[in-house]
Each structure stands twice: as C-alpha cells, then as structure tokens.
Chains A and B, each alone.
Chain A
Amino acid sequence: MVVVRFSKHLTRHFNIPDTVEAVGENVSELISDLERQYPGVAAYIVHENGALRQHVNVFIGDRLIADRQHLTDSIDSENEVSIMQALSGG
C-alpha cells in the first residue's frame, strides 16, 4: 500500500481524508485506485484524457513526477505520494 497525502487546498473542495492508502505500481494505477475508492477524485487531478492537470503537482517522496502525460513514473510501496496544487495555478 502506498500512503497518499492531499493538500488542504484539495480537501476543502473534495470530501476525502488528507491521508489515504492506495495501490498502484505507477502514478496512473494509483489514481485509478483512488478513483475506485473515492469516485470523482480523479477529475480533480487529471484531465478526462488521463494527463495531469496543468496546475497540479504529484510528488513521489520529494521528487516531482516526470511523466505528466501518461503518469508512468513507478512507485514503491515504501514511497509516500503527495498530490498538491502548483503555485502556478494562482
């Protein structure tokens, strides 16, 4: 299981705990599992075509993911994943 943390900026708009657990070997799979557990949350993170929204950042540990289009960055179960707003979004 991967620990996923959400910023308060998201949890004030979408009803989800600030820390949850999910499964996935990469970011795309992780978001699919989050959507299974919390229907509707994926639309806050990714566009309808699966690409990361422009002003959303996903970190694996302290590292920003590289593949914002297909979300193929791999995740180890000991990683923590943080999903946060980018400051570029205003």
Chain B
Amino acid sequence: MASEKLSGRQIAIGTRKGLLTYQESDGEWNMLNESHLGARVSYAMRDTRSGFLFALLEHGHWGPKLQRSDNDGKTWEEIPAPQYPDGAELKDGKPAVLRYQWCLAQGAAEHPGRLYMGTEPGGLFVSQDDGSSFELVESLWNHESRKEFWVGGGLDEPGIHSVLIDPRDPQRIAVGVSVAGVFLSTDGGQSWQPRNAGLKADFLPNPDVEIGHDPHLVVQSAGQPDVLWQQNHCGIFRSTDSGESWTRVSEPGPATEDDAAAFGTAHFGFAIVVDPHDGDTAWVVPALSDEVRVAIDRQLCICRTTDGGQTWQAFREGLPQAGCYDFAFRHSLDLLGDRLVFGTACGSLYFSDDRGETWRVLANHLPPIYSVRFT
C-alpha cells in the first residue's frame, strides 16, 4: 500500500464491544464496518505510512490480541501481541506478562515499519516490521525507578498510554506512564530521564515527587514539538521545553459543585488534543472530579484554549445540557484540521467541523468508547 494522508473522512472507534468505523460521504456520516464484535478494542489507528489499520483487542478471557488490516477493515489478520521476555518481573518475584495494550504509535517517516506500543504492566515495545513482531524496550523497563515507584493507575499495574515521536528528530521519544509520569529519551530509546518538574501529585503526601505522577494523556504539538500538554489526574499541565518544566494551566475557580476546589470547568478529565500548528491551542473534555467522573452539572462540554491555557472557553452547542452523566476516556478525542471528534464512556459519538465550537451527534447507544481516531 502506498503512503497516504488522513482525509478526515473516516473514523475508527474502539469500543467495549468491537471496532466500528464510520465514513463521511456528502456530509453524512455512516457506519462503514463493524469488526471484532464482542471484543474490547482498547485502541485502533491507521499507520499513515503503510496504510495498515491496527486494532488492539482485549478479550476478557483469552488475553490481549493484535489485529492488522490492509483493506480498511474488511478483513483482518491476527499478528502476535507483544510478549514480555522470559524472566521479566513486575516486582521482585512477581512475573510480568502482557495485561493490556494501551496505545500504538507510528515511527518516523525515515523508519518505515517502526511502531511503538505502550502496555500494562509498564512495558514499551518496538516493532520494525509493521507489527509482525515486537521487542521490549529494555532500557525503559530496566529504569531504576520502575520497580519501586511505578504503580497502577486506572488498571491494576502501571500503563504506558502515550508515546510521542518528535517530528524533528526521531531520536527524541517521550512516553507517559500512569502512574509514574513522563520520561524522555534523546538517544532513540537507549536511556530515559524523568520529565515531571512542576507537576503536582495531589494524591501523594509529597505532591512534588520526581516520579509518581499520573498523566492521563500526554500530547505534543507536531509543528512545535517542544510544546507538550497533558491532561493529568491533578489538572491540565503544559510544557514549552520538552517537559523540562511543567505549569498547571487548569482553568481557575470559582469552585465547582465538588469540593475539589478552586478550579473551573477545564481541570479534571482524561482526553486532550493540541493543535499541530499552534502549541497554544488545545481542547479537553472536562469531567467533574477524580471521585465523581460525570459531566459537570450533568452538562457535557468541550473546553478550548487558544492562549496556552491562560483562559478557557467552554463550547456546548449540540452537546447534551441536562441529565448527562457522560465523560470521555483518554484516547477518545481526535483532531484533524478544523475537525474534532470524540466518543464517550456512555457510547455517544460527537463531531465538530468548526474547531469544537458546535457539535452534532453521529451516534448514540454505542458501547463504551475507548478510542477515537481519524483514519
């Protein structure tokens, strides 16, 4: 298959009950394919270099499985999921085995076939052959902090949910780990340094620990790769120096109905995207709080900043504004050009073609949605 560019007219949706793909034709969105029905699809994406679609499955009983399609999801081929090597230990005396496939990221253009997969319990894997085989990135697995300071977040064990390849220099790789924080490699993954200064871990006795933070998702502005954002367990944080320092840019109070505080609407959540051409512009899907993961005031909204998080604006048109207990999981928001799409825990799918200012419903009553990606 030839290298291709995303059109913004197809969307892959990983759900609790299978992979759904939608396609736009003459302004109307309709379901194109339904694949892996019954299986939990933790993540799905297209590699724009090879054109392959990938679906990361988690069968409740039979374990994580990996599927690849070369024909837009009409047919699929099972390829071996990553395996932790013999003797790999989560903690001393506790064997490590693959529990969950969190995310898949394509490598740089000059590394065709290279893919990175983040997994639970904390392993980063790399493939050089379009996913046909994977190897554990031992340097990160053997990081001195892992056994003692990486812990579960969301799932029982540590998970790597974000892998960022610097478009300027593929030797620069950042990962986000729940719960540990952000780690950066500048040598192609041979060594890793924590990049968590300025983050706040309000759930720990010492919120300023070097390692022990909970980024829910870390994203990078492709056109300004030093600009990183994260929707963290403890707010929204931004860095303009490749994670050397972070600043909390959650919307200031007044306090919400929850006692969490002096933060406004844009504060707690999971999903975040940043504009690839403007590192000051980002979107989040707010939820009420850590303890109460529902829409604030039961009204769903998207918040956008265009000034690096100094101010936020909530957009609600087209989204439910009463009786809504919904929110979005971390990989369920995507941006392409002026188009945004997000899916929710309660199975609704929303689309905007005006940078998130107005929305329309593409579907309701889907299974819980874990992943939404333009393909």
Contact = CB atoms under 8 A, between A and B. Distances in A.
Interface of A: 9-10, 12-14, 40, 43-45, 47-49, 51, 53, 55-56, 85-86, 89-90
B80 A89 contact: no
B365 interface: no
Given A40-B78, A43-B81, A51-B97, 6 more contacts: A13-B65, A43-B80, A47-B63, A47-B97, A49-B86, A51-B95
Contacts of B80: 40, 43
A49 B80 CA distance: 15
Chain B contact residues: helix, strand, loop or mixed? loop
20 contacts: A9-B61, A10-B61, A13-B39, A13-B65, A40-B78, A43-B63, A43-B65, A43-B80, A43-B81, A44-B62, A44-B63, A47-B95, A48-B83, A49-B95, A51-B95, A53-B61, A53-B63, A55-B61, A86-B61, A89-B61
Contact of B60 (A40, A48, A51, A90): A90
Contacts of B62: 10, 13-14, 44-45, 53, 56, 85
A85 B98 contact: no
A9 B84 CA distance: 26
Interface in B178-229: none
Nearest to B39: A13
Contacts of B38: 12
A55 B61 CA distance: 5
Most buried by A among B38, B60, B65, B86: B60
Contacts of A40: 78, 80
Interface residues of B, number: 17
Nearest to A12: B38
B168 interface: no
B234 to A, nearest CB: 30
Contact of A49 (B60, B65, B78, B97): B97
B84 A49 contact: yes
- State the 3 A-B residue pairs at the shortest beta-carbon distance, nearest first: A47-B97, A85-B61, A48-B83
A10 B60 CA distance: 11
Given A13-B39, A40-B78, A43-B81, A48 B61 contact: no
Nearest to A57: B61
